[in-house]
């Protein structure tokens, strides 16, 4: 009897460790689908835009919309102004546009982005966001804007996140933070207006 009890405890511990080790991989959804428009979520400003431009070249969309915080400034310039300047300098400038957003959460961003998407008369949207943020972002946009079909592409940045999250301090912080946000979304925000 004692052996089987110990064996059950060992098995439970091993299952728990496996779940913890694979928790980061669960967060990542990288399944881009050809869409009417590519929407780059606000936040990270190097990997996400680069991934979107690559997807545009590969024909995953004919236009790219960049969500940019409307109320933020850096060294006297607004983020929107800087993003517009950057977009104008790109090879595909005619296919790029900026969507000013005011919300600070993914849920609020989905509401702000919906206004820009309505103007674009699209039916399908390919979201581009950081790899760790893909599962939650896809869930939020699908819940908030069921009129559109969403898919998601991951922008990878190994300075911020990796699936072997326990090997780097920053990755561990990102993993824990995203899981907290995921639990909040699934347990609270999803059910409130």
pLDDT band at 22, cuts 50/70/90?
confident
Rounded mean pLDDT of 84-108? 96
Would you state the pLDDT for residue 1?
53
- What is the domain partition of the chain in residue ranges? 26-160
The Cβ-side half-sphere exposure at 126, using a 13 Å CA radius, reads: 27
Instruction: List helix spans (H) across the chain.
Output: 2-27, 47-57, 79-88, 106-120, 134-144, 169-187
Give the pLDDT score at 8: 83
Residue 154, C-beta contacts closer than 8 angstroms, at least 6 positions apart: 28, 29, 30, 51, 129, 130, 131, 134
Name, in order, each residue with C-beta under 8 angstroms of 193's C-beta and a sequence gap of 6 or more.
none
pLDDT in tens, 60-74: 999 999 999 999 999
Q: What pLDDT was estimated at residue 5?
A: 81
Q: What is the pLDDT of residues 129-174, one digit of tens each?
A: 999 999 999 999 999 999 899 999 999 999 999 999 999 999 999 9
131 or 5: which leads in pLDDT: 131
Task: Assess contact for 49 and 87: CB atoms under 8 A.
Answer: no
- pLDDT of res. 83: 96
pLDDT score of 34 more than 60: yes
CATH 3.30.70.1560 fits 26-160, yes or no: no
DSSP for 7-18 reads HHHHHHHHHHHH
Check residue 2 and give its pLDDT: 61
The structure's pTM equals: 0.91
d(CA 100, CA 30): 25
For 74, how many CA atoms within 13 A lie in the half-sphere containing its CB? 7
Q: Are strands 64-69 and 77-78 parallel, antiparallel or unpaired?
A: unpaired
Q: What average pLDDT does the structure give for the chain?
A: 93
């Amino acid at each position: 009897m004692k052996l089987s009890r110990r064996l059950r405890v060992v098995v439970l511990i091993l299952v728990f460790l496996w779940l913890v080790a694979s928790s980061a991989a669960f967060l990542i959804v990288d399944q881009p689908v050809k869409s009417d428009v590519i929407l780059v979520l606000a936040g990270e400003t190097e990997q996400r835009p680069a991934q979107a431009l690559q997807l545009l070249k590969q024909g995953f969309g004919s236009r790219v919309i960049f969500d940019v915080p409307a109320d933020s400034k850096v060294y006297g310039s607004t983020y929107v102004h800087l993003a517009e300047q950057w977009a104008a300098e790109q090879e595909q400038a005619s296919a790029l546009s900026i969507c000013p957003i005011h919300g600070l959460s993914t849920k609020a961003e989905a509401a702000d982005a919906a206004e820009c998407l309505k103007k674009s008369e699209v039916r399908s949207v390919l979201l581009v966001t950081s790899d760790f943020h893909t599962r939650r972002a896809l869930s939020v946009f699908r819940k908030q804007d069921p009129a559109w079909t969403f898919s998601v592409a991951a922008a990878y940045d190994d300075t911020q996140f990796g699936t072997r999250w326990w090997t780097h301090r920053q990755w561990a912080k990102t993993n824990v933070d995203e899981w907290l946000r995921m639990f909040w979304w699934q347990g609270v925000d999803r059910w409130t207006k």
